[in-house]
Amino acid sequence: MTAPALDLGGVLIPTATPFDPVTGELDLVALRANLRRWLESGVLGVVLGGSTGEAVLLDDRERLASLEASRDVVPDDRLLVAGTGLESTRATIALTREAALRGADAALVQPPAFYRGAMTPAALRDHYRALADVSPIPILLYQVPLRMSTVEFPAGLVAELAGHPNIIGMKDSRGEMDKLGELVRQVPTDFQLLVGNGSRLFAALEIGAVGGILGVANLVPDESARIVRAFRGGDTGLAGRLQGVVGPLHTGIVGAFGVPGVKSALDALGFQGGLPRPPLAPLSDADRAVVEQRMRDAGVEF
């Protein structure tokens, strides 16, 4: 097996997006400050414009501005991945090209889902092939969590798309190990699978995933990244102990409270989380207290 053109073995942070508390505009100064702190850890890189980054609440101008502001903060030995999935093939291609011009190393592309009933395997296949044929950067499929407005990729379709030389991997956020195992069995060995569920990272590595794009890594980036490094180094005991820290934080904060919970936790940790963009509502004072207690219970200092 030849080495992949872009090695995804590790943990990437799908970064939260800070907004100015007065105007509601992107706060690019805060984003850059957060990135510098996150990148002090051992993470492989960052994803801008993912679900944790409130991508569906950003316009194209904002997505591209965040990439421009981030490229010189992200060093050459780390990855900058752009979320570029939109509802039309034409718009997805255009945004992916623009993201590449602004320095993105790869694109994470969620499936179009508004016309869900029409998104047959053939329609999805044609959508992703058309994108991959012309994209100047590699494409990662994104299986969005099924609780959100999305479609589910059949394993056979993923295996078919994995044969395209410019589709190099997939983020699977379902958190279902049997379905991940089916993907591992069907895709080529050089197709790189990542998980989006921070409570399943260690189990996913055992099955055959190479890493994760984890919302919880906004809060515990080094611990998340060390799970993969320890596993790859043969220290499964350490990997398991670290999973015991990361998993409850995923379940108790990311899973329980979503984006507002991540932002509240970031505020407590001294990052600039701030308010989510409406119609998402911030946590109540009581829920913020729960978030902080769950971090204390996990041994996170703030």
263 a catalytic residue: no
pLDDT of residue 4: 65
Which entry of 63, 102, 127, 171 is annotated as an active-site residue?
171
- Per domain, the residue ranges of the chain are 11-235
Distance of CA 171 to the CA centre of its chain: 7
Instruction: Tell me the residue type at 240.
Output: G
pLDDT of residue 1: 44
Q: Regarding the domain delimited by 11-235, which CATH topology (the fold level of the hierarchy) does it fall under?
A: TIM Barrel (3.20.20)
Residue burial 35-46, b: 16+ Cβ < 10 Å; e: rest: beebbebebbbb
Q: Which pLDDT tens digits describe the chain residue by residue (302 residues)?
A: 455 679 999 999 999 999 999 999 999 999 999 999 999 999 999 999 999 999 999 999 999 999 999 999 999 999 999 999 999 999 999 999 999 999 999 999 999 999 999 999 999 999 999 999 999 999 999 999 888 889 999 999 999 999 999 999 999 999 999 999 999 999 999 999 999 999 999 999 999 999 999 999 999 999 999 999 999 999 999 999 999 999 999 999 999 999 999 999 999 999 999 999 999 999 999 999 999 999 999 999 99
pLDDT of residue 5: 76
pLDDT of residue 3: 55
